[in-house]
Structure formats: C-alpha cells, structure tokens
Amino acid sequence: KQEVTQIPAALSVPEGENLVLNCSFTDSAIYNLQWFRQDPGKGLTSLLLIQSSQREQTSGRLNASLDKSSGRSTLYIAASQPGDSATYLCAVPETSGSRLTFGEGTQLTVNP
Amino acid sequence: DTEVTQTPKHLVMGMTNKKSLKCEQHMGHRAMYWYKQKAKKPPELMFVYSYEKLSINESVPSRFSPECPNSSLLNLHLHALQPEDSALYLCASSQVAAGVLTGANVLTFGAGSRLTVL
C-alpha cells in the first residue's frame, strides 16, 4: 500500500526566504504526483502536476521536482511571501484506481 | 468554467436533522468525488461516481447517502449524523470516468462545506 510522508510538518520562515518542502512515497510506480495548497478551512488548490516521465515542473515562484527511483518530490518556493502561508499537500494516485494518497501536509507560515 | 462549486459553505445541524450538501461542475468531467477532511488531517475519500454511477464507496456509514442526478451535479444527503461527523466535506471532479488518475486526469476540488453536528 502506498504511503506518502511530508517533512517538515510545520515550517516558519521570514519573508523573502527560499524554501523547500519534501514529499516521499513508498511505491515508485506512480503515474504522476500533484502538489496542492490549502488555506485554513478552504478547499484544495492544485499548484503543480508532475507526470511520471517528467523531472520537474515550474509555475511562477514554484518549482516541483520528481525523482521516482528514490521515491521523492520537492516543492521549491522562491522569495517567499506572507501570502504563501498555507498547508501544502502532495498526493499520488493509486495505480489500481481512483484513490489519491495524500501526505499529512506541511503547514507553512511566512512572517512579514 | 474551471470551478467546482459547493453549497452551502457552512452547515450546522442537529443529530436528528436531514440536510444535503451540493456540488456542481461544468467542466464536462465524468467522475465526481466526495472527500471528508478533519482538522489538520489530509482528505479521506468517501465516494466516487463514474458516469453518474457509484463506483466506489469507502465503507461509509449509511447516514451519508450520495446521489448523482446528472453528470454536473453531486449531492450528499445527511441524516442522523453524529458529532464526530463534523468536518470539512470536499467535492472534486476529474475528466476521465474510468477513474484512474493518470496523466492529465487530475482532481479539481471545490472550496468545501464546513459541517458542524451538534
């Protein structure tokens, strides 16, 4: 059964810092990996999707990488801003069906 | 339209009430999902509909009753809930009805309905 782990569980940084969020998964036979952002009490917003054949995806100040062989993905946030404060979740689909396996999330706080 | 719309945003109900959560999408997606999320936990899958037919029920108690009247709408009927059912209920949709989340067949989530059971 796929297990997804995110480290750290919480992170607090001053504004302007570059930071890295980590996601690891136990079964490397994944189709893709998706990073989501969730603001408190809100739904999930998809940030980046990396296909299994890709090594990275970029969107603005966000860059996600994928290393299937080692079962790892990272989300790099450049020049962090207070508006980046949220919980970041990574998720991979189970190979056999419709289920997404989520990590527990990293709660990010960017201080002005 | 690239949104999944959920109503109501907040719902407070007693344990004897009957209420419904509603979800709507106009992206032409053929798979729709209900997730439950407790505070500081990741979402947990409850139900999956594929081409308006229930394809996955994750052993959810019968006090939760899903309904998919058409390809754009998904309801979750609530009856005789318990206080521990209080949570954020998230609806999602994806393009492919086959259900396998491959390639670009990714989930689009709604903003959620915050349910409090007294």
Which tens digits make up the pLDDT trace of B19-55? 999 999 999 998 999 999 999 899 999 999 988 999 9
Taking contacts as CB-CB distances below 8 angstroms, the residues of chain B near A86 are none
Spatial separation of the C-alpha atoms in residues B48 and A98, rounded to whole Å: 8
Spatial separation of the C-alpha atoms in residues A21 and A13, rounded to whole Å: 12
Assigned token pair, B16: 């004897």
Kindly report, residue by residue over A38-68, the tens digit of the pLDDT: 998 889 999 998 988 899 999 999 999 999 9
Give the total residue count for chain B. 118
| Residues B109, A44: C-beta atoms closer than 8 Å | yes
Assigned token pair, B56: 């996955």
Mean pLDDT of chain A: 93
**What's the pLDDT at B11?**
96
Spatial separation of the C-alpha atoms in residues B79 and B12, rounded to whole Å: 13
Spatial separation of the C-alpha atoms in residues B67 and A104, rounded to whole Å: 29
Lowest mean pLDDT among A27-31, A65-69, A96-100, B96-100: B96-100
Of A43, A97, A104, which is closest to B110 when you measure between CB atoms? Answer: A43
Q: Which site among B100, B113, B115, B116 would you substitute to test the A interface, given the most A Cβ atoms closer than 10 Å to its Cβ?
A: B100
Assigned token pair, A90: 């990574």
Spatial separation of the C-alpha atoms in residues A98 and B98, rounded to whole Å: 8
Taking contacts as CB-CB distances below 8 angstroms, the residues of chain A near B90 are 43-44
Kindly report, residue by residue over B68-113, the tens digit of the pLDDT: 999 899 999 999 999 999 999 999 998 875 545 565 677 889 999 9
Q: How far is CA A42 from CA A1, A20, A31, A45, B108, in A?
A: 28, 23, 27, 9, 13
Which H/E stretch holds residue B79? Answer: strand B73-79
